[in-house]
Structure 1
Amino acid sequence: MDSKRRVVIQALGAGGTLALAGCGGGSSSSVATNNSSTPTPTPNLPEEQPETAAPKVSFVHGVASGDPLSDRVILWTRVTPEQEGDIPVRLTVAADQAMSQPVAVYTTTASAAGDYCVKIDADGLQADRWYYYQFAVGDQTSPVGRTRTFPASSDFMDRARFAVVSCANYPFGFFSVYRAVAERSDLDFVVHLGDYLYEYGPGEYGDFPERDPLPPQEMVSLADYRARHAQYKTDEDLQAVHQQFPMIAVWDDHESTDNSYRDGAENHQPLTEGDWQTRKAVSQQAYFEWLPIRPREPGNFSVIYRQFQFGDLIDLTMLDTRLEGRDEQLTVPLDPARNSEDRHLISAEQMDFLLGSLTRSTAHWRFIGQQVMFGQLNIAELPALTEDQAQLRSNLSAINMDQWDGYAADRLKILNHIDDNHIDNVVVLTGDIHTSWASEIYRNPSTLLGDLFDKPLAAEFVTPAVTSPGFPDGAAELAGILIPVANPHIRYVEAKSRGFILVDVTRARAQAEFYYVQSIESYDLRGQIDNSKTKVVAVNSGDSRIIEDGPVSRPRTLRTAFNHPPLPLNAVTGKEVLS
């Protein structure tokens, strides 16, 4: 970093350093601290030297933030230069939307090596605070973004609100769901459970007018993956979500290619598309470049499982059930090999990470964010001869071998760990299947005289898709009726509508509100909710049984939101009323 640059700090900002997690290269400088209540310049700064004219650039891909911790958050943008070359970039973090109360200012470099992406890990921030940020090249500036830090793990928290999304295929229609999320101004963060983008070429999976994917072929090379990420980041509704909230994201299969696993993919042909490990690696590199993700270590784009703590209320463990440790999927639904203890969905290292996180957690709620459906999905149940057979074999008629049903021993290990260690308040968040589900999690839920009369070990909420299709009309309605009959642990199924889950968490309960948009085909209806379809389910603290059809949660006021309406005034004091 240019030694002429210095940092301005104020009390709402930092107490340490600003560290760079560079997708575009560069390095960070030391940061002076100041704990006064008003902005104060760092003393004895050398005079700024004249600068050469800044390169001509644009910020067409917006801004984003992610992976919030109690003292830091990843800030992201992409610089589009008129000419190739290294681009000096300045970032300002402030306490206000007008950027008039700067917390820190520092510089880095965007370069072709990182596809001109810039990722800065801004640390030294105060816990449980909203911040604003803006990138600049000379006098050319990005939009202002809004982000927040999480409360410290020891902080008592009585509430959290966040949205859960997945499966956004550009050629299927407008990102109306993202617009609806962006307009929920009282969220703390957004969880994205994968299929952030899709790999297919034009007409291969969706053909909505004027939304053909770029490049105009299936993405295989690093240049292909970068170009597809760039196209997605030009969508105004996706930009609005990133601009408003920090995102915690994991990949699923389509960020690389369909039905991928550790050593291959159904939609990868080595004879025409090259080496799988090379393709997987470049897809992961592009993902880390274009998403506000904190790498486990610099340059390591293969490990994405990680943990977050929202005060003492929530521990959120994010898994990689797709690329890190998954064995190849079975092709026959009734294949008994799915129960083999030698088949794994996640590696031994990731399993130890998950089980250790659950055991060590002191939070009130333990959320697990992951890609594929955790609970059993069956068409019929075959009787078990012994309890051990019931637990391991569970339901041989499971129909989707891509989800945890195809790796039953790994699931059983997790459930046994939860039960043996008396771990309460576990909620699994899932994406992938373009449909909505709420389930109670048992070892063997279809044994009607067994587990279903015991307390569930966990609950699972599966989010609908942003645009990717679910069941067709008729079949969707039939599935909603018949699936719970063969699966009494599944309390809610909606199999076709696009939407998201709003999760409202208190000390007393974790509530999932399924919201569905009116249309993904009408530009003018973007963000409009079909209130007739809204579904509310919840689990109470200490009991993972699903409770249906309660009232929606009360929105809360956040004065930091970009689109927040005027606040009401107290009739006595004349001041704004906060909730």
Structure 2
Amino acid sequence: MPHTRRTLLTGSLAASAALALPLGLAAPAFARSGRPSASWGTQSGEVTERSALIWTRSDRPARMYVETSPTESFRHGVRRHPGPLLGPATDFTGTTPLRGLPPGQQVHYRVVVADPDDPRRTGEPVYGTFRTTPVSRRSGVRFLWSGDLAGQGWGINPDLGGYRVFDEMRLRDPDFFLFSGDTIYADGPLQPSVTLPDGRTWRNVTTEEKSKVAETLAEFRGNFRYNLLDRNLTAFNAQVPVIAQWDDHEVRNNWYPGQLLEDPRYTVKEVDVLAERARRAFGEYFPGRAIDPGERAEGRVHRVVRHGPLLDVFVLDMRTYRNANSPDRQAADPVGILGAEQLAWLKRELSRSRATWKVIAADMPLGIVVADGTANFEAVAQGDPGAPLGRELQIAELLRHIKHQRITGTLWLTADVHYTAANHYAPERAAFQDFAPFWEFVSGPIGAGGFPHGALDATFGPERAYVQSAPVGNMSPAENPPYYGEVEIDGASGELTVRLRRQGGGVLFTKSLRPGQVGQ
């Protein structure tokens, strides 16, 4: 697939990047007079064949407009799309839907914010671009995924040029980026400096909202704004659409519904209150979901994002509907990690899918043991290699459904565990055998502490084909550079290739899969 957008920063995206905030600032210093400004940049999301969503944030009340053109110069075919009024109710953020776009084409856009009382008073436009989904398979698909940003005390380091991995990923020119959870660390305050084991000093850009755990809506919003202080990320957002899902650190480490906190850092003890505020901020700072007429899914994280005949992405929410973390060895578990309603939705949508490849975007791994303290477990696996118990029962039901419904081309992608790996699951190695073989690929962190790899639970027969991880816990990105993954689907053959990558280190592992191949 040609990298048609690599040179765009010499043109309109360069103007957008110039508006990004300097790395050294603790917070943006907007002028409070004159024209409104959209200096937080722009994002695109939920891109389809003929539609997309465009996001921005203003520094004051403003009306949002988006203009599109098939050319970077905006000399021909310019269309204006009216957007919402940006105000304090949404932290001055807003999303404008674009409709009637040409399929399989590069779309250039610019966002303008205008004084709501005088439309002639507008700020400088902020530029972006994206490709609409093709209607045929000829073009192929290429996307990236990773998770975990600004975690474990490692934020924007101006000495290292900030989140440089996003610039490297931008140059890969993907069709979209799957942000696999932990998009912020609301429970991870940042210190201005941290001494590394070798005596060097890691410096963080800091803000008021990142100085404590997030509890108020304003503090959760501030965590999302923090990442947008990085010019690499804002330039990436202007070029690469995002599919965002959440996990635990958008709220608090290892949270589950109904939890009451004993953490002395929190004055708000009810996790459900924190989660409601976090979910609102999450929806404000990523392009919202385009909901079909008649559908009732407002505020829902789990969804299907379709990318032409080659790919459907099933975005899961393994946080909102789960049961409490526990030893997880119960013989019956109707709630599990997905909840009964989401499980039924996933089975139904997988059965309906006609895409060659069905990527299941899970914010937590299946067979990797992830502990919560000394006795409880956070993910699906709980270390018992026997027949399914606890949350494993729900996954067994799903895997059985995939096999019996003859659903082909399923592939699991995840992050969460802060290392990269390729795990193959096969019934001949498993205690539970009523499923078809499949792969799970793990990547991340994109900008957080690195950790050693975890143990595998044999219930579903995982085998580690590749792993690379930090030798000790919470290694900084300076010592353990970020990981991200790449998926490329060839338009002619339908072959899917996964590459596990590392910032500055190229490809670590490659696996190619053929459509309909059994036991890949």
Which letter does structure 2 place at the counterpart of 1:100? R
Moved more, 288-297 or 404-413: 288-297
Moved more, 201-210 or 274-283: 201-210
User: Which of 234, 247, 259 is 1:252 aligned to?
Assistant: 247
* Per-residue CA distance 1:269-319 (angstroms, 9 max, x = gap): 797214332221111111111111216599976411111222111111111
**Structure 2 partner of 1:34:** none
**Structure 2 partner of 1:180:** 168
> How has the CA–CA distance of structure 1 residues 263 and 130 changed in structure 2, closer, same or farther, with 3 Å as cutoff?
farther
Q: Hey, what's the Cα distance between the residues in 2 that align with 1:55 and 1:378?
A: 52
User: Which of 128, 133, 151 is 2:104 aligned to?
Assistant: 128
**Is it true that 1:465 corresponds to 2:445 in the alignment?**
yes
Task: Please list, as runs of the form range in 1=range in 2, the aligned pairs for 1:345-364 lying within 5 A after superposition.
Answer: 345-364=337-356
Are 1:62 and 1:234, in contact at CA under 8 Å, matched by a contact in 2? no
Larger Rg: 1
**Structure 1 partner of 2:367:** 375
| SS in structure 1 of the partner of residue 203 of structure 2 | coil
User: Which of 409, 424, 428 is 1:425 aligned to?
Assistant: 409
**Is it true that 1:538 corresponds to 2:517 in the alignment?**
no
**Structure 2 partner of 1:146:** 129
Are 2:429 and 2:458, in contact at CA under 8 Å, matched by a contact in 1? no
Are 1:75 and 1:120, in contact at CA under 8 Å, matched by a contact in 2? yes
User: Which of 144, 161, 166 is 2:147 aligned to?
Assistant: 166
Q: Hey, what's the Cα distance between the residues in 2 that align with 1:265 and 1:157?
A: 52
**Is it true that 1:310 corresponds to 2:286 in the alignment?**
no
CA drift at 1:355: 0.5
User: Which of 405, 409, 434 is 2:393 aligned to?
Assistant: 409
Which letter does structure 2 place at the counterpart of 1:346? L
**Structure 1 partner of 2:8:** none
User: Which of 205, 213, 233 is 1:211 aligned to?
Assistant: 205
Q: Hey, what's the Cα distance between the residues in 2 that align with 1:180 and 1:537?
A: 21
**Structure 1 partner of 2:49:** 70
> How has the CA–CA distance of structure 1 residues 189 and 341 changed in structure 2, closer, same or farther, with 3 Å as cutoff?
same
Q: Hey, what's the Cα distance between the residues in 1 that align with 2:144 and 2:234?
A: 16
Which TM-score applies when normalising by structure 1? 0.69
Are 1:305 and 1:320, in contact at CA under 8 Å, matched by a contact in 2? yes
CA drift at 1:362: 1.1
CA drift at 1:76: 0.6
| SS in structure 1 of the partner of residue 44 of structure 2 | strand
Which letter does structure 1 place at the counterpart of 2:270? D
Task: Please list, as runs of the form range in 1=range in 2, the aligned pairs for 1:38-77 lying within 5 A after superposition.
Answer: 55-77=34-56
Which letter does structure 2 place at the counterpart of 1:259? N
| SS in structure 1 of the partner of residue 221 of structure 2 | helix
Task: Please list, as runs of the form range in 1=range in 2, the aligned pairs for 1:209-288 lying within 5 A after superposition.
Answer: 209-212=203-206, 214-215=208-209, 216-264=211-259, 272-288=267-283
* Per-residue CA distance 1:239-297 (angstroms, 9 max, x = gap): 12211111111111111111122323768679721433222111111111111121659
CA drift at 1:370: 1.7
* Per-residue CA distance 1:325-368 (angstroms, 9 max, x = gap): 111111x4xx522x533341112221111101111111111111
| SS in structure 2 of the partner of residue 280 of structure 1 | helix
Are 2:399 and 2:435, in contact at CA under 8 Å, matched by a contact in 1? no
Q: Hey, what's the Cα distance between the residues in 1 that align with 2:347 and 2:277?
A: 30
Q: Work out the number of aligned pairs and report it.
A: 440
Are 1:214 and 1:231, in contact at CA under 8 Å, matched by a contact in 2? no
Are 2:370 and 2:377, in contact at CA under 8 Å, matched by a contact in 1? no
Which letter does structure 2 place at the counterpart of 1:375? G
**Structure 1 partner of 2:178:** 191
CA drift at 1:144: 0.7
| SS in structure 2 of the partner of residue 273 of structure 1 | coil
Are 2:106 and 2:130, in contact at CA under 8 Å, matched by a contact in 1? yes
Moved more, 199-208 or 434-443: 199-208
Task: Please list, as runs of the form range in 1=range in 2, the aligned pairs for 1:516-527 lying within 5 A after superposition.
Answer: 516-517=502-503
Moved more, 290-299 or 170-179: 290-299
Are 2:181 and 2:247, in contact at CA under 8 Å, matched by a contact in 1? yes
Q: Hey, what's the Cα distance between the residues in 2 that align with 1:505 and 1:538?
A: 9
**Is it true that 1:512 corresponds to 2:464 in the alignment?**
no
Moved more, 197-206 or 351-360: 197-206
Are 1:429 and 1:461, in contact at CA under 8 Å, matched by a contact in 2? yes
> How has the CA–CA distance of structure 1 residues 484 and 58 changed in structure 2, closer, same or farther, with 3 Å as cutoff?
same
| SS in structure 2 of the partner of residue 167 of structure 1 | coil
| SS in structure 1 of the partner of residue 381 of structure 2 | helix
**Structure 2 partner of 1:51:** none
**Structure 2 partner of 1:328:** 324
Q: Hey, what's the Cα distance between the residues in 2 that align with 1:351 and 1:304?
A: 14
Q: Hey, what's the Cα distance between the residues in 2 that align with 1:344 and 1:455?
A: 19
The alignment yields a C-alpha RMSD, in angstroms, of 3.2
CA drift at 1:91: 1.9
Which letter does structure 1 place at the counterpart of 2:440? E
Q: Hey, what's the Cα distance between the residues in 1 that align with 2:255 and 2:469?
A: 24
Are 2:402 and 2:435, in contact at CA under 8 Å, matched by a contact in 1? no
Q: Hey, what's the Cα distance between the residues in 2 that align with 1:237 and 1:265?
A: 38
> How has the CA–CA distance of structure 1 residues 265 and 307 changed in structure 2, closer, same or farther, with 3 Å as cutoff?
farther
CA drift at 1:205: 12
> How has the CA–CA distance of structure 1 residues 214 and 162 changed in structure 2, closer, same or farther, with 3 Å as cutoff?
farther
Which letter does structure 1 place at the counterpart of 2:103? A
* Identity between Structure 1 and Structure 2 (%): 21
* Per-residue CA distance 1:60-115 (angstroms, 9 max, x = gap): 2111000112221110110113xxxx322332111122222244213342111111
* Per-residue CA distance 1:447-478 (angstroms, 9 max, x = gap): 5xx95xx984321111121122222xxxx4xx
Q: Hey, what's the Cα distance between the residues in 2 that align with 1:237 and 1:373?
A: 28
* Per-residue CA distance 1:30-66 (angstroms, 9 max, x = gap): xxxxxxxxxxxxxxxxxxxxxxxx9522222111000
Which TM-score applies when normalising by structure 2? 0.77
> How has the CA–CA distance of structure 1 residues 259 and 377 changed in structure 2, closer, same or farther, with 3 Å as cutoff?
closer
* Per-residue CA distance 1:386-431 (angstroms, 9 max, x = gap): xxxxxxxxxxxx9982122251011101110011111111001111
| SS in structure 2 of the partner of residue 327 of structure 1 | coil
Task: Please list, as runs of the form range in 1=range in 2, the aligned pairs for 1:439-454 lying within 5 A after superposition.
Answer: 439-442=423-426, 445-446=429-430
* Per-residue CA distance 1:467-511 (angstroms, 9 max, x = gap): 22222xxxx4xx59x869997622111113522101111344221
Q: Hey, what's the Cα distance between the residues in 2 that align with 1:470 and 1:399?
A: 23
| SS in structure 1 of the partner of residue 421 of structure 2 | strand
| SS in structure 1 of the partner of residue 312 of structure 2 | strand
CA drift at 1:542: 2.2
Are 1:258 and 1:267, in contact at CA under 8 Å, matched by a contact in 2? no
Question: Which stretches in structure 1 are left out of the alignment for 5+ residues?
Answer: 1-53, 380-397, 518-528, 547-579
